[in-house]
């Protein structure tokens, strides 16, 4: 059995930050489901929000976050993240992240995005996430205590209660079963485990997320006995490129921060009709407005137009976007670009405390997989990378002080495949994958209803039963593991949505169009 002191599942900003923070106190193993750069972090375009300028303030950032969160943020958590954010950004810069500088003043060039009252977004052109991933990977690779294991797919957490070890004591994490690229499942034992596997965007037909975002960490924690909360608050990014071959390419909110306008196909600018801040309104407002305008007028898309800005400015600040749009035949400097909303960020997740701890001893969660209370009912733009760093740092601080676990009275059992055989029906995986994503898009999308949610739950439960039978009959594969997790987090999303009898933030239902006077988190326990 492989053993390590710290086991990190996921190699984005949260996972790598945690690894670097604990590496001086013991060996760290970081699991990557695929390659080293295939994370949600690497796809982030916008940047990281942090208060660093004299004309900005913690109080302003806190207030912006609370307003976006629509009355459901945990104010204590918001203050922690906002106040500790600048130090985390400084540490990220020390680790090699190169953010854009203002050519005139020598200071950092800061973007402003929707919901922010000030310019406070650190960025690296329009590929901020890629730059952060590059810097953190470089720092982690050079540390002798950090080991990377790519193409290692976590199957399930190993806990003391699940395997009958020390059941008279609090439940604690012991490690995880891992499917390697050769198709074998082996346990990795660890004193401490951090889940940092990112979001759940792939439960939807249209998403800005990379293919790895199938909710693995949330599903594993739930199966291990940890509650989840607020999964109904799925943020739909308002502006993903509309093109049959574009797949999941988003047009950063920073475009609207620099003056881009949203137009109908007929040229009418519609956002001033919906919100006083027009294109800089919170994302849920903008996404619903686009969705409504498209459906009302029978259009396939809306237009995002920044062609009135200077070409040189666009080439300097948005080189990736210009290049990508050009690949699909669009010139951002001369015309509006077709866009549609797409699933982007899950504001709920595994319930954690202010140190990233779960109810299982030694198990931490950070990043998009966690529900910390920061985002409330709607995430403020560019707060997600910030949250990942702050809670990874806090979790590391807490983990370093944990006493070493005593030797186990018995080792966890090796993986038992039972009578499973190789599958000759891969079409089952493909069919169920497509069905889940389409029914989630149609029934649990930007606008919901009781009937749609009930239909979604009924169908997901049938699919889940079929997947469970398939899981035990056939040898596991990465596709099967992702499908199993995808189905579970889809069910959790629907259950949370059904429990919320109001419209708030990212959750809008035609059956309860008003906000409740006493908002509560929606909690689903195993």
Q: Residues 176, 188: contact at Cβ < 8 Å?
A: yes
Residue 283 is a catalytic residue: yes
* Catalytic option among 283, 357, 379, 500: 283
Q: Residues 218, 368: contact at Cβ < 8 Å?
A: no
Closest residue by Cα to residue 467 from 443, 491, 444, 451: 491
Residue 245 tokens read as: 């071959």
Coil, helix or strand at residue 175: strand
Closest residue by Cα to residue 399 from 223, 221, 172: 172
Q: How many CB atoms lie within 10 A of CB 395?
A: 27
HEC profile of 311-371: HHHHHHHCHHHHHHHHHCCCCCCCCCEEEEEEEEEECCEEECCCCCECCCECEEECHHHEE
Q: Residues 222, 350: contact at Cβ < 8 Å?
A: yes
- CA distances for 276 relative to 114, 281, 315, 360, 481, angstroms: 12, 8, 30, 45, 45
Q: Residues 488, 464: contact at Cβ < 8 Å?
A: yes
Crossing angle for the helix pair 450-473 and 427-443, nearest 10 degrees?
Answer: 160
Residues 6+ apart with CB under 8 A from 471: 480, 484
CA 297 – CA 305 distance, rounded (Å): 19
User: Catalytic site residues?
Assistant: 283
């Amino acid at each position: 059995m492989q053993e390590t002191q710290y086991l990190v599942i996921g190699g984005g900003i949260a996972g790598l930050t945690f690894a670097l923070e604990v590496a001086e106190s013991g060996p760290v193993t970081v699991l990557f489901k695929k390659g080293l750069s295939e994370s949600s972090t690497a796809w982030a375009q916008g940047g990281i929000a942090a208060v660093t300028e004299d004309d900005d303030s913690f109080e302003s950032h806190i207030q912006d976050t609370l307003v976006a969160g629509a009355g459901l943020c945990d104010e204590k958590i918001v203050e922690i993240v906002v106040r500790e954010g600048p130090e985390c950004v400084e540490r990220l810069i020390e680790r090699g992240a190169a953010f854009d500088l203002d050519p005139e003043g020598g200071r950092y060039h800061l973007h402003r995005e929707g919901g922010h009252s000030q310019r406070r977004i650190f960025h690296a052109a329009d590929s901020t996430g890629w730059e952060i991933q590059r810097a953190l990977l470089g720092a982690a690779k050079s540390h002798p205590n950090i080991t990377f294991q790519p193409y290692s797919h976590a199957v399930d957490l190993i806990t003391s209660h699940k395997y009958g070890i020390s059941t008279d004591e609090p439940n604690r994490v012991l490690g995880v079963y891992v499917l390697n690229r050769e198709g074998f499942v082996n346990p990795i034992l660890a004193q401490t485990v951090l889940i940092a596997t990112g979001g759940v965007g792939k439960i939807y037909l249209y998403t800005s997320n990379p293919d790895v975002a199938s909710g693995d960490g949330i599903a594993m924690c739930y199966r291990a006995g940890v509650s989840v909360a607020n999964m109904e608050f799925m943020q739909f990014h308002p502006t993903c490129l509309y093109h049959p071959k574009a797949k999941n390419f988003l047009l950063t909110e920073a475009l609207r921060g620099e003056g881009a306008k949203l137009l109908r196909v007929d040229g009418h600018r519609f956002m001033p009709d919906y919100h006083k801040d027009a294109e800089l309104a919170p994302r849920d407002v903008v996404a619903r407005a686009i969705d409504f305008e498209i459906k009302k007028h029978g259009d396939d898309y809306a237009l995002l137009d920044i062609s009135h800005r200077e070409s040189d400015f666009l080439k300097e600040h948005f080189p990736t976007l210009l290049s990508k749009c050009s690949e699909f035949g669009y010139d951002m400097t001369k015309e509006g670009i077709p866009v549609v909303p797409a699933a982007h960020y899950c504001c709920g997740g595994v319930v954690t405390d202010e140190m990233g701890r779960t109810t299982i001893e030694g198990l931490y969660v950070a990043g998009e997989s966690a529900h910390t209370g920061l985002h409330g009912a709607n995430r403020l733009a560019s707060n997600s990378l910030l949250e990942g760093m702050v809670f990874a740092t806090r979790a590391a601080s807490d983990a370093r002080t944990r006493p070493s676990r005593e030797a186990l009275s018995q080792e966890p059992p090796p993986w038992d495949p039972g009578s499973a055989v190789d599958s000759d029906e891969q079409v089952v995986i493909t069919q169920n994958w497509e069905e889940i994503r389409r029914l989630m898009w149609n029934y649990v999308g930007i606008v919901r209803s009781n009937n749609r949610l009930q239909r979604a739950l009924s169908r997901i439960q049938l699919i889940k039963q079929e997947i469970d039978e398939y899981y035990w009959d056939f040898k596991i594969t990465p596709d099967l593991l992702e499908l199993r997790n995808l189905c579970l987090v889809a069910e959790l999303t629907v259950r949370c949505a059904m429990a919320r009898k109001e419209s708030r933030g990212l959750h809008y239902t035609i059956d309860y169009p008003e906000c409740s006077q006493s908002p509560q988190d929606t909690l689903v326990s195993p």
